A and B are shown apart, each in its own frame.
Chain A
Amino acid sequence: MTGRPPAPLHAVGPIDLDIRPGEFFAVVGPSGCGKSTLLELIAGLTPATEGRIEFEGAPVAGEAPDGIGVVFQEDASLAWLDVAGNVAFGLRRSALTAEERQRRVRDALKLVGLSDFATSYPAQLSGGMRQRVCIARTLVMQPRLILLDEPFGALDQQTRLLMGDELLRLWRETAATVFLITHALDEATMLADRIGVMSARPGRIIDVVETGWPRERDSRIVERAEFGNITARLWHTLRAESMKSIRS
């Protein structure tokens, strides 16, 4: 895809990016560089002023395409529905039978480990669990591309690492393509096959780092020597950009 969103101030771009099917792609960058804008462009939430975005061969513009799921940083769980209701909410527009729907909801809850909480309300759950409800709601639609905008930003560090393990497992089990935005370098390094580094605003991709990790991985990858090297490389590139961002 290539693109620039509409804004008197250029928020992002120019960007030229190809995401391979089935890969886990992470984007890191200084705050305000336009990472979220990039995600919203891909999701069809924001139209691009220049350039083209394509998903599965068809252009993306104005409307969220079928087959894309998004998990946001803020809590998007619906307080007035129980967990099962929340997850089922994603299937409202689909032409499935009631049985099919129930089955998918059950499967999604099992995938994220919330089967025991189907009748609980979000208010009774922790932040991490609520985020899992949102993930389940996304998974229930069986998307081919999953976009995550700093999904673990509101959680504490330990929970983040464990959720990272969860996310990797879900990625393998659903065989979806995953596009994750994060400001945490270690998180990107641990989770991704490739990491795009964005510059300060207007954000461009100034580096793409291949981690070369095996598909079967979890948080223990942090113990490997290459982990430190990759993170160091990311920071090396980002440090100057971050200082620009702070000054502006």
Chain B
Amino acid sequence: MSKVAWYRAAVIAGVVALLEALCLAGVIDKITMPAPHVIARDLWRMLVSGRMNAAIAKTLGNTVLALGLALGVGIIAAALLHRARAVRDTLDPLFATYYAVPVFAFYPFFIVVFGLGDLPQILIAFMLGVVAVIVNTLNGLDRVPNVLLKTARILRLSPADTALRMTLPYAGPYVLTGVKLAVAYAFIGVIGSEFIMSRGGIGYEISFAYANFDNATMYPLIVLILLASVAVNGLLGVWEQRLLARRGLR
């Protein structure tokens, strides 16, 4: 293992060990947080019993839905905006300040309009992710060098062919950056909304467990989300690295 890998392993092990020690010593009391090994055990039991499966499925389903929407709408919107300079320039301040505005502030509004179902969550998650996709896709489209577009014309490619075989592959890595962000945001949007106000899903279960002082459920769920988020992000990151390495960009 490389030095860097050792370092990381040491940091993680150190933090877990520290928490374990503090818990066992009673510095962190059981009501605040159970010891790491207890959390691990409870997580295992919870997964094995399958009682969270419905919640997990719900959260996962909504996340994927929101992600699909964000990607679909985002990429198409970016492709259209790229050709409509005036509209793009007008929307530019919106995109630039978008992530400064707490999108969650619109959640109450969505609940009032659409009721307390899945739609408000999906909308929030979609709203969070779509601009990241648009901005990054536009960035990729901007960067397609003129020489490649000229080459496409010399090779007499049709507009569709040019878009699919020149522009899209070239912009790929930048679109992927947007995808990574959209995945994270979809997750954050859905779980956050479930947490604030919802009738089901993992976020709701955490909120419910918290209200009922049920640490045996709450902490394992939190750890589950942490692990899932890190894993998905990590996998996307590895894919991104491979893609960029092949192109000599990293």
Task: List residues of chain A with CB under 8 Å of any chain B CB.
Answer: 40, 43, 45, 63-64, 66, 68-70, 72-76, 78-80, 89-90, 92-93, 121-124
Contact = CB atoms under 8 A, between A and B. Distances in A.
B147 A74 contact: yes
B169 A63 contact: no
B151 A123 contact: no
Contacts of A93: 155-157
A132 to B, nearest CB: 15
Interface in B139-158: 145-148, 150-151, 153-157
Interface in B209-250: 246-249
Given A45-B154, A80-B172, A92-B155, A72 B246 contact: no
13 contacts: A64-B155, A70-B151, A72-B147, A73-B147, A74-B146, A74-B147, A76-B145, A76-B148, A78-B148, A79-B246, A93-B157, A123-B247, A123-B248
B154 A43 contact: yes
B170 A64 contact: no
B29 interface: no
Contact of A64 (B145, B153, B161, B247): B153
Contacts of A40: 150
A79 B248 contact: yes
Interface residues of B, number: 21
Contacts of A75: 147
A93 B146 CA distance: 21
A122 B150 CA distance: 19
A91 B157 CA distance: 11
Contact of A70 (B154, B169, B247, B249): B154
Contacts of B249: 79, 123
B153 A45 contact: yes
Nearest to B155: A90
Contacts of B166: 78
Contacts of B248: 79, 121-124
For the residues of A in contact with B, the DSSP-based class is loop
A93 B170 CA distance: 20
A79 B247 contact: yes
A63 B152 CA distance: 11
A43 B156 CA distance: 11
List the 3 closest pairs (A to B, CB-CB), nearest first: A123-B248, A74-B147, A79-B247
Contact of B145 (A70, A74, A92, A121): A74
Contacts of A72: 147, 150-151
A79 B150 contact: no
Contact of A69 (B150, B154, B161): B154
Contacts of B247: 79-80, 121-123
Contact of B170 (A66, A68, A79, A121): A79
Nearest to B169: A80
Contact of B147 (A76, A89, A122): A76
B170 A80 contact: yes
A64 B147 contact: no
Nearest to B151: A76
Contacts of A80: 169-170, 172, 246-247
B177 to A, nearest CB: 16
Contacts of B146: 74
Contacts of B169: 78, 80
A239 B161 CA distance: 45
A68 B154 contact: yes
Contacts of A70: 150-151, 154
Contacts of A121: 246-248
Contacts of A73: 147
A90 B165 CA distance: 12
A75 B150 CA distance: 12
Given A64-B154, A80-B247, 7 more contacts: A40-B150, A69-B154, A75-B147, A78-B148, A79-B248, A92-B161, A123-B249
Most buried by A among B148, B161, B169, B249: B148
Contacts of B148: 76, 78
Contacts of A76: 145, 147-148, 150-151
Contacts of B157: 92-93
A70 B169 CA distance: 22
A204 B44 CA distance: 81
A80 B247 CA distance: 6
